[in-house]
A = this chain, B = another copy of it.
């Protein structure tokens, strides 16, 4: 690797001048600046990030902590889309992305961040009660979390309350009065959606029987199928089921069809997330699309804001709204009595 020293030798000036020329300092004459730049180019010079970091304390590197208990990890479209949005925004602002190693027994997440000198870290898909995560967000490094709020830290949330409300109102508007809800695993997301669900029902003067609301998990089609079966077995089954997410919905839909019921003629269903698949399945799934790329990009902006203006930035929470995708999986319920 050709270093600044060799350019200095080739140009007959000191390394200081090279550095200043390359970084556009004011006390280098235009003539030498050009000569140096040309020479650097010619010799194939590239700055050494390690050396620069050592001196400047800046890495332009952002850590992403991405750990999924369920093991679907990156393949979970919700999270990969957030990551995609985050990556694009960060890269556009001149930062690189490094994964915080989650398979390293000898270093905690925070240690790892310190070791790599990342300037900030995004916690995307982690178990937020993990002590290592707690240690990380309690550290003095800028942090942003997705769909979870740590006191005093920046966060980007999907507007689950508004989302589920919108979804509820939509299916209500289609004529449904027996609306069931299979929700996800206990989490702030589930909490928001559950509250939103009940609140929307209440506002519309609807009382939801307890057995219409089932505790499920996220991203698990077979569990969802099971719970869907329980709903269908009720003496007075719902005419519409809201699933925890689009992927789970597939399981529910299978269960429904195995009983010879048609969607949406016999029963309506809606998902949540708005993953790519929702639009192309049959029938297209009615779902609430979460703007995951926007969320990722917003998170990146928050984090970089903190990195670049630590004194004047107050970490705050941004809520990103979604939009209803009207598929064809929800239709007016049959009138049969």
Binding site for B on A (CB under 8 A): 1, 46-51, 53-54, 59, 61, 72-75, 77, 80-81, 83-84, 87-88, 91-92, 94, 96-99, 101-104, 111, 114-117, 221-222, 225, 247, 250-251, 253-254, 257-258, 276-277, 279-282
Whether A247 and B276, one on each chain, are in contact in the complex, defined by CB atoms closer than 8 angstroms, is yes
Chain A interface main SS type: helix
Specify how many copies of this chain sit in the oligomer: 2
Task: Given A87-B99, A103-B88, A103-B92, check contact A117 B49 (CB 8 Å).
Answer: yes
Q: Determine the chain B residues whose CB is within 8 A of the CB of A87 once the complex forms.
A: 74, 99
Whether B102 and A91, one on each chain, are in contact in the complex, defined by CB atoms closer than 8 angstroms, is yes
Question: Considering the chains assembled together, what is the distance between the CA atoms of A279 and B221 in angstroms?
Answer: 9
Whether A250 and B282, one on each chain, are in contact in the complex, defined by CB atoms closer than 8 angstroms, is yes
Question: Considering the chains assembled together, what is the distance between the CA atoms of A11 and B222 in angstroms?
Answer: 59
Whether A251 and B277, one on each chain, are in contact in the complex, defined by CB atoms closer than 8 angstroms, is no
Q: Determine the chain B residues whose CB is within 8 A of the CB of A258 once the complex forms.
A: 282
Task: Given A114-B46, A250-B280, check contact A80 B74 (CB 8 Å).
Answer: yes
Across the two chains, which residue of chain B brings its CB closest to A99? B97
Whether A277 and B280, one on each chain, are in contact in the complex, defined by CB atoms closer than 8 angstroms, is no
Question: Considering the chains assembled together, what is the distance between the CA atoms of A312 and B46 in angstroms?
Answer: 29
Q: Determine the chain B residues whose CB is within 8 A of the CB of A48 once the complex forms.
A: 54, 115, 117
A213 CB to nearest B CB, Å: 23
Question: Considering the chains assembled together, what is the distance between the CA atoms of A89 and B281 in angstroms?
Answer: 34
